[in-house]
């Protein structure tokens, strides 16, 4: 994977890597970073720890700088952009430049907090912007967002940022975690007071199904919340994680939606996110040390989906294949996804003891 990261950095595509064709290694990019561009910066920052290479950290800082313009975008997914695309470079590499960018992102996110409803709404410039108003929330808006605000509170001493992070996470437990421990991606709420109106999905198979990334994002988001801002949020994280472990198919890689049937396309990125969450929770929750073994075996399986170095060059070796971005719209249903790479790489470094997963 390090070789793939170095290859992309050596011949950078124009824009932010989003997903890639696993035959040619060619990236499809976005001009503004969409919600995914920060993972490229996060990958470079992690690679600099593993590779000990200033060029890699320089690349991470460059990505963070390019993201600055997004600090005021009206999207809750700024948590993805600014925590993974800048905060990680500060946390693992003590980059002052990345710290400034991450603080700008946190400032922008905090300005979008709805104090009557107690959360940051999805936002009119979010990926699903054509379908939402000011009363929409997504579980995908918890990972990164809560950690970024809580990290910024620690850096600046602004308690209000930590309060917002806690409230945002708690609202999403209420909106998205079902009674049985499965997770629903999206919720409509009353922006005047936060009352839940209905649950539904943007990317899942149906409103009642369990989209694999919804489950995985919840595990990660609540695990980050438990570490960064509110230890009580370990409970919903564990509920979602136990459901994941119970429902993961024998092949140890989830299909894109748990209700899509055994022959549906796999989404390796969902399993990579879930592994990263389990590694955090194994450290945070004394009753769940076995999560580390589950994560390790999921990661071992995911490694079988990584294109081997002996048959490829830097452009095509080290890619995590079989990511499924958006099957309902037919986009990148069998591809390398930049966030799948990020969470697999992060999990590998955690398992090797190179980084402490709870610090992220
Ligand atoms: N919006 C985040 C995702 O598609 O996973």
Residues 211, 122 share a domain: yes
Q: Is the dihedral of CA 251, 240, 105, 50 positive or negative?
A: negative
Number of domains making up the chain: 2
What number does the ligand 1 atom closest to the CA of 138 have? 1
Q: Which of residues 247, 268, 283 is at a domain's end?
A: 247
Please check whether residue 340 is in contact with residue 306, taking contact to mean a CB–CB distance below 8 angstroms: no
Asked if residue 50 has pLDDT above 90, the reply is: no
For the full predicted model, state whether its pTM sits above 0.85.
yes
Q: DSSP 3-state helix, strand, coil percentages of the chain (rounded to 5)?
A: 55, 10, 35
If pLDDT is split at 50, 70 and 90, which confidence band does 55 have?
very high
Q: Report pLDDT for 125.
A: 84
Residues 121, 241 share a domain: yes
What counts of helices (H) and strands (E) characterise the chain?
13, 6
Average pLDDT over residues 97-125: 97
Within a domain: 126:
yes
Residues 195, 268 share a domain: no
Q: Residue 132, by phi and psi: left (phi above 0), alpha (psi -120 to 50) or beta?
A: beta
**Residue 324's domain spans which residues?**
256-360
Choose the residue to mutate in 217, 268, 269, 270 for probing ligand 1, maximizing ligand atoms within 8 Å of C-beta: 217
Asked if residue 344 has pLDDT above 90, the reply is: yes
Asked if residue 130 has pLDDT above 70, the reply is: no
Residues 239, 138 share a domain: yes
Q: What percent of the chain has pLDDT over 70?
A: 99
Contacts of 170 (CB under 8 A, 6+ apart): 118, 230, 233
Q: Report pLDDT for 311.
A: 67
Within a domain: 20:
no
Torsion angle in degrees (nearest 10) through CA of 219, 226, 347, 63: 100
Q: Mind listing the pLDDT tens digit for each residue in 143-152?
A: 999 999 999 9
Residues 210, 156 share a domain: yes
Average pLDDT, the chain: 96
* Six token digits for residue 205: 């198979």
3-class secondary-structure state, position 324: coil
Q: Report pLDDT for 68.
A: 98
Residues 267, 242 share a domain: no
Choose the residue to mutate in 18, 33, 35 for probing ligand 1, maximizing ligand atoms within 8 Å of C-beta: 35
Question: Could you give the CA distance from residue 207 to residue 187 in angstroms, rounded to a whole number?
Answer: 10
What is the CA(326)–ligand 1 centre distance, in A? 9
Asked if residue 94 has pLDDT above 70, the reply is: yes
Residues 273, 340 share a domain: yes
């Amino acid at each position: 994977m390090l070789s793939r990261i170095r290859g992309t950095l050596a011949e950078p595509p124009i824009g932010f890597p989003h997903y890639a064709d696993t035959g040619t290694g060619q990236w499809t990019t976005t001009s503004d970073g969409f919600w995914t561009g920060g993972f490229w910066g996060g990958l470079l920052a992690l690679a600099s720890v593993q590779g000990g290479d200033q060029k890699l950290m320089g690349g991470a800082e460059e990505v963070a700088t390019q993201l600055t313009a997004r600090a005021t975008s009206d999207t809750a997914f700024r948590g993805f952009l600014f925590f993974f695309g800048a905060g990680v470079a500060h946390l693992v590499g003590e980059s002052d430049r990345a710290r400034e960018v991450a603080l700008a992102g946190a400032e922008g996110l905090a300005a979008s907090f709805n104090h009557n409803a107690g959360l940051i709404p999805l936002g009119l410039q979010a990926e699903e912007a054509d379908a939402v108003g000011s009363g929409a929330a997504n579980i995908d808006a918890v990972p990164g967002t809560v950690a970024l605000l809580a990290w910024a509170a620690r850096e600046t001493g602004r308690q209000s940022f930590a309060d917002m992070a806690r409230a945002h996470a708690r609202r999403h437990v209420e909106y998205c975690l079902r009674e049985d421990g499965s997770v629903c991606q999206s919720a409509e709420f009353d922006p005047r007071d936060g009352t839940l109106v209905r649950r539904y999905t943007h990317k899942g198979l149906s409103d009642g199904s369990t989209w694999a990334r919804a489950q995985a994002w919840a595990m990660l988001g609540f695990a980050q919340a438990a570490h960064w801002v509110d230890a009580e949020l370990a409970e919903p994280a564990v509920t979602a994680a136990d459901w994941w472990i119970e429902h993961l198919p024998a092949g140890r890689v989830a299909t894109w939606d748990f209700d899509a049937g055994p022959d549906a396309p796999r989404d390796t990125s969902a399993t990579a996110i879930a592994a990263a969450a389990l590694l955090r929770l194994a450290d945070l929750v004394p009753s769940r040390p076995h999560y580390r073994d589950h994560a390790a075996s999921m990661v071992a399986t995911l490694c079988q989906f990584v294109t081997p170095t002996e048959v490829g060059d830097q452009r095509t070796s080290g890619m995590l294949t079989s990511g499924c971005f958006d099957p309902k719209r037919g986009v990148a249903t069998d591809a390398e996804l930049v966030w799948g790479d990020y969470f697999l790489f992060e999990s590998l470094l955690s398992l090797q003891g190179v980084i402490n997963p709870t610090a992220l």
